[in-house]
Amino acid sequence: MTVLIVEESLLIGGRIRNLLLETGNASNIYQTVEHTEAVTLFEEVKPNVVLLDMCTPGATSIDLLQDIKKAATETAIVVLVNCDDYQKQLKCNSIGVDFILDKYHEFERLPEIMDIIVRKGNFKPGNEKPKHYSKFA
């Protein structure tokens, strides 16, 4: 399964990457901190899952969510939030986000969520060695 992490914090993005590697569900992991590069990576790699920080620099994350859902409705989206912004969560739900995760208080749920996505999408983790792609690595 291919995963795109769009997270403003390299530290949190690294923690997410490590969790994904531990679960064994992700065979290809791409990571970026900005909206523009996220759009480019999304178009190039066509990820099965996007993990999106709602505080991404550049254009708004809501715009990015809408672009992703228009381009690939089958892509699972996990939104990472760091506050209880109810209006933003309602907007995410109306767009069709699969999961909303408080990245500071629910971080440990990520492996469970990835397992649910794998089962729902009938993805089979590949036998290939997991790869991590980032221009920051």
Judge whether 123 lies within some domain. no
Question: DSSP string of 53-120?
Answer: ETT-SSS-HHHHHHHHHHH-TTSEEEEEESS--HHHHHHHHHHT-SEEEETTTSGGGHHHHHHHHHHH
pLDDT per residue of the chain (137 residues) written in tens, 0 to 9: 899 999 888 888 898 999 888 888 888 999 998 888 888 999 999 999 999 988 765 557 888 888 888 888 788 999 988 766 677 778 888 888 889 888 778 888 888 899 898 888 755 444 333 333 333 33
Q: What CATH number does residue 90 fall under?
A: 3.40.50.2300
pLDDT of residue 131: 39
Judge whether 130 lies within some domain. no
Please give the residue range of the domain that contains residue 83.
Answer: 2-23+33-106
Judge whether 99 lies within some domain. yes
Regarding pTM above 0.85, the answer is no
Strand partners, 133: 30
Judge whether 13 lies within some domain. yes
